[in-house]
Amino acid sequence: MHKITIAIDGYSSTGKSTVAKQLADYLGYVYVDSGAMYRAVTLYAIQNDIISKNNFNIEKLKEILPSINLRFEKKSDWKKAHVFLNGKDVENEIRNLEVSEFVSPIATIHEVRVKLVAQQQQMGLEKGVVMDGRDIGTVVFPKAELKIFMNASANERAQRRYQELLDRGEVVEFKNVLKNIEERDHIDTTREDSPLIKAADAIEIDNSEMNLEDQFHVVLQLAKDRIAGRI
């Protein structure tokens, strides 16, 4: 059975990473969470006082980019691969609301995107990869055999994100999570460099009314059909 490249794009908190990981596990493909890479760069920027609510030192960010080393590692007892920032496992740190607040501005910087897109393309050279993000089907893998675009209402996405944060023990208010979702949508869709748009040949899935199992089976069938050459 020949291997293909699967690109899953969409808005924040649409379950892209969840379904991408499920699909990769089922097919025996490599899963790459591109969003985790941007989150790791954002975490590094926060830790080095490059970005805050009142400051964003873009020139300093560009200067320190060469010192940022990212890699993915998966151990047998982990459900998914963790992202490592300069040798440190930061998988949990990059998922908090503070990182979420700043990841979209970081992702607008051309030099950041060039660095990470190059790494992502390298990861997909041998196919057999499932990657999710904002510009996978349009920029990273424009020739991917299967492109999926995930969507859901902002309120539904905020509710999912809110519950996820509560389950991790974070103290957050729903209104702040919804505001973050809406702000990220605006930044992601209006940035000049690789904005979030649906690729012309992508299949759109609105999962507002779907549970995780239903979503997975819809995407899996699309992948099986594409691998078999039925669509």
Q: Tens digit of pLDDT for each residue in 48-72?
A: 999 999 999 999 999 999 999 998 8
Taking only the tens place, the pLDDT of each residue in 199-231 is: 999 999 999 999 989 999 999 999 999 998 876
Number of structural domains, the chain?
A: 1
Q: Is residue 227 part of a domain?
A: no
146-151 vs 30-33, strand pairing mode:
unpaired
Find out whether 135 and 9 touch, Cβ atoms under 8 Å. yes
* CATH at residue 165: 3.40.50.300
Name 72's bridge partners.
83
Find out whether 2 and 101 touch, Cβ atoms under 8 Å. no
What's the distance, CA 47 to chain centroid? 21
Rounded to two decimals, what is the model's pTM?
0.81
- Residue 119: CB partners within 8 Å, gap ≥ 6? 37, 70
Taking only the tens place, the pLDDT of each residue in 176-204 is: 999 999 999 999 999 888 899 999 999 99
Q: Is residue 225 part of a domain?
A: no
Q: Is residue 191 part of a domain?
A: yes
Q: Is residue 73 part of a domain?
A: yes
101-106 average pLDDT score: 94
